[in-house]
A and B are shown apart, each in its own frame.
Chain A
Amino acid sequence: MNSAIRRLAVAAIILMLALMANSTYLQAFRANEINGRNDNNRVRDSQFSVNRGPILIGSTPVAQSKPSNDRFKYQRTYPSGPVYAPVTGFYSYRFGRGGIELTMNSELNGSDPSMAFRRIIDVISNRPQQGGSVTLTLNAAAQQAAYKGLGSKTGAVVAIEPKTGKILAMATTPSYDPNRLASHDSAKVDAAWKSLTEDKDRPLSNRAAQELYPPGSTFKLITAAAALSSGKYTPETKVNSPAELPLPQTTVPLVNEDGKNCGGSNNATLTIALRYSCNTAYGSVGLALGPDALRDQAAKFGFGARPLAELPSVATSQFPGDPNEPQTAQSAIGQFDVRATPLQMAMVAAGIANKGEVMKPYLVQNVKTPDLKTVSETKPESLHQAVTPQVASELTAMMVDVVNNGTGKPGQISGVQVAGKTGTAQTAKDRPPFAWFTAFAPADDPKIAVAVLIEKADIARDDIAGGRLAAPIAKSVMEAVLSQ
């Protein structure tokens, strides 16, 4: 009997060892993952009692914690609410976090390893944990102009400093007030969450970076870039630009927006074709280049990769995988399955503006401890040389022509040379087209590149065109930065 009891004793020890091993796995190895969960109220409770650091633009907070004497010690507030909401995100007890509040959470609450030393000092000196501050690259004037310009329309604006990749503005409408989600009154927060998530216009979504749209004619910049880079074209090369371009394998031809040929010519130059945004011209260029050349050029501007890790769920812009010939022609003018975010199109303009070099976009300028020691400072980083400086300057000249003589006239700024491109992307028949405008200024020494998308506006369908609807917004955003 004793041998059987001994075996049971060993079995009992194995059971206990299994418990210890499993707990070790849980508490030592999986703990971080579980603590980081959005639905972890326990961790949030403790974080709500921390003096969370502010999110700043310059020295002005756009998110800050104020002492509170209800359930929690601090109340998170957003002084300009909806204007910065797509970037700051929200900080809610029940519904987690979004935006910078989510991605920079450990820096803001002071638990980041980079602040470990400071935290140890706090513990020793019996001071409560205090979070660091995050300074954004946003430009307050540009952001305000963008939000105001969008007004009651549904759309988004992204502005980038071409030389660095700093994001100067990122606005989306309809937006939401993060204060409603940060409230300590859980019934009010529940109601706000319900109305925001059930809203058909999805105010919680950051249209500037999280949603993909057909880029329409603004994609012609990439087709033009591919053409010029191939060495077979110059801005003066004449291309096939009839009123209707018959496409192989289909009976549906490619047509120009106005149903006519390109500025009175069936053989317009690339510059003229861009000036009037001729579909047939760029469709035939796209066919001649083939889908791989277009895709490669798009990838050099950032398509196919996720930009901006500083925001959650940023969408990856796409060029279709294996289009046939009619699909390639459609893709070359930004239709078919080409999808891009306003952020991506701003990167295209910024890349052209910066002599062909696309800079990695970023939102966080620096992180500082509560006693203002810099923990980290973002340095500009090059993403790709998308086109040669020569091609970039040719494209710039073509875009200047668009603004001076073509569809981009509403983007003109007196005293400053603007380079731009309009776009009007058809979607479904029963939905209004999307209006685009992407531009940079001054053309000879760009300070700002911008992309504007209008998804929906309360005007007649025929009036929707990138030039008329989106260009004035881009203009006001550029003016806001240039007048500083």
Chain B
Amino acid sequence: MSIASTSVIQIIPRTRRGVELLLLVIAIGVSVAAYVNIGITVENEIPASTGYYAAGISLLALIAHMALRFRAPYADPVILPCAVLLNGLGVAMIHRVDLGLTAIGRTKGVPFAPQQITWTAVGVVLFLAVIIVVRDHRRLQAFTYSLGLAGIVLLILPLVPGLGANVNGAPIWIRVAGMSFQPGEFAKVCLVIFFAGYLVVKRDVLTLAGRRFLGLDLPRARDLGPILVAWLVSLGVLVFESDLGSSLLFFGLFLFLLYVSTERAGWLIIGGLLFVGGAYFAYLSFGHVHRRVTDWLDPWAIDGGQVKLGLMGQAWGGILGRGLGQGHPEATLYANSDMIISSMAEELGLTGLIAIILIYTLIIERGLRTALGCRDIFGKLVATGLAMSFALQVFVIVGGVTGLIPLTGLATPFMALGGTSLVANWAIIALLLRISDQARRPQTPAAPVSDETIAMAVQKQ
């Protein structure tokens, strides 16, 4: 290299994989400590399964880490450790609830924790697949419409007779070969990619100024098409699958991406009004929505109600919590799935719950930061969509469990018991990391620029 080239200031992009490894060690340490703590408190001994648990979670985290080292070295270093920590704490709490359920003689399906570890493995395999197969996220744009179709099909699968299964009152499951899946979880990923691909193409049309009304640039009536379709589809999900949470999630995601791609707040206002209208209509028309709302307004009225039991668990936890293994999370219905946040709040207290919310916040903000740094519009939209899907999901489920909003059946990302959701979330994390690798990767070096060219450029000015 000549001396001249050293005069060019170079920012050396850093991969930060070492930081990621350190954070992973901490995440694994916290998870294993929680697991051991539960064993000591509940059974007075370090559980025999500690080795299995510790080895499993370490191995899976290490595999994911190595995949990033070799295939996406510039990927964000914070996201993976956050996911591992949430997943690890989730398994520990599921184990805790297993012990609690056994203690009160409800052994159906127990233990659930090994299942969750198995699903974590499946999730990490999918994570690897995404990191290895999807070399460049921009390739996904080619599958815009196929993925859109796949998303819709996945959404209506539970309605196919013989395939659909009604679990806990919501027909959002399918049962194949004795196993249950919640196709909506994958529909979410497909639809985010579809929305992004669609909006990349249509954003110019949608940005065209329509009428100005009350200081707002409203879109033209015919451009309202996509938002109305999204609204109707989400209402359909709500009506036919009684799935309030997913309905809000899909519509919200579409709205957010529409807003980001057009930068026009008018869409948010129209969408918000449509949402309020749809929600009110649903409240008036559907018994299950009405029940959710009344249960939210007065959780104490229903004897043995899910929300009521959860609120009691959280109150019992107080500020510092009962301590792992010292509460009664099993007294709440679905303590290891829908209500796992309440179980956490009971044993880890407000302090622990806020820490968990902050970990989610980190993932969300890291995801949005990826979107900011991403150089292509498609990637920006996909990253925004995936990050905001976390935000919405966490808000809806945690808000429901803590009594901020009516409770709807969404899975708590990475924590709740349930294979589909866990695996889908690992796929989402993989996609986010893939995009962040592109965003943080150094630009392909431009052709060497000679001093003469620079001189000419200066003279032209």
Contact = CB atoms under 8 A, between A and B. Distances in A.
Contacts of B317: 27, 31
Given A1-B260, A5-B384, A26-B311, A19 B365 contact: no
Nearest to B331: A42
Contacts of A372: none
Given A19-B395, A26-B315, A34-B315, A5 B260 contact: yes
Interface residues of A, number: 36
Contacts of B360: 16
Interface centre among A1, A5, A6, A26 (most CB of B within 10 A): A5
A45 B328 contact: yes
Contacts of B263: 1, 3-4
B399 to A, nearest CB: 6
Interface in B377-391: 377, 380, 384, 387-388, 391
A185 interface: no
B368 A18 contact: no
A252 interface: no
Nearest to A16: B361
A24 B350 contact: yes
Interface string B292-305: 00000000100100
B377 A1 contact: yes
Contacts of B314: 23, 26-27, 31
A95 to B, nearest CB: 12
A20 B354 contact: yes
A8 B260 contact: yes
Contacts of A43: 312, 316
A460 interface: no
Nearest to A15: B395
Contacts of B380: 1, 5
Interface residues on B, range: 35 or more
Interface string B246-263: 000000000010011101
Given A8-B388, A42-B331, A18 B399 contact: yes
B47 interface: no
A34 B404 contact: no
A42 B404 contact: no
A15 B312 contact: no
Nearest to A30: B315
Interface in B259-282: 259-261, 263
A22 interface: yes
B313 interface: yes
A191 interface: no
A31 B315 contact: yes
B361 A13 contact: yes
Contacts of A37: 300, 312
B311 A34 contact: yes
B402 interface: yes
A80 to B, nearest CB: 33
Contact of B259 (A4, A32, A40): A4
Contacts of A18: 395, 399, 404
A29 to B, nearest CB: 10
B319 A28 contact: yes
B372 A2 contact: yes
Nearest to A22: B404
Interface in A21-67: 22-24, 26-28, 30-35, 37, 39-43, 45-46
A19 B402 contact: yes
B349 interface: yes
A180 to B, nearest CB: 22
Contacts of A309: none
Interface in A353-386: none
Contact of B365 (A12, A35, A41): A12
A41 B404 CA distance: 23
A20 B256 CA distance: 23
Nearest to A71: B104
A42 B322 CA distance: 12
B368 A9 contact: yes
B391 A31 contact: no
B245 to A, nearest CB: 15
A15 B391 contact: yes
Contacts of A4: 259-260, 263
A27 B349 contact: yes
Given A8-B256, A12-B391, A16-B360, A23 B315 contact: no
Contacts of B187: none
B395 A40 contact: no
A27 to B, nearest CB: 4
Contacts of B300: 37, 39
Nearest to B315: A34
Contacts of A6: 372
A46 B368 contact: no
B357 A16 contact: yes
Given A5-B260, A6-B372, A34-B311, A28 B391 contact: no
B361 A45 contact: no
Interface in A151-171: none
B403 A26 contact: yes
B318 interface: yes
Interface centre among A13, A19, A31 (most CB of B within 10 A): A19
The 8 residue pairs across chains A and B that have the minimum distance between CB atoms? A34-B315, A27-B350, A12-B391, A31-B315, A22-B404, A9-B368, A15-B395, A4-B260
Given A1-B380, A34-B311, A42-B327, 12 more contacts: A1-B261, A6-B372, A12-B364, A12-B391, A15-B391, A15-B394, A20-B354, A23-B350, A23-B353, A27-B345, A41-B312, A45-B331
24 contacts: A4-B259, A5-B368, A9-B369, A12-B361, A12-B388, A15-B394, A15-B395, A16-B361, A16-B364, A19-B357, A20-B357, A23-B314, A26-B311, A27-B345, A28-B318, A28-B319, A31-B315, A31-B319, A33-B315, A34-B315, A40-B316, A41-B312, A42-B313, A45-B328
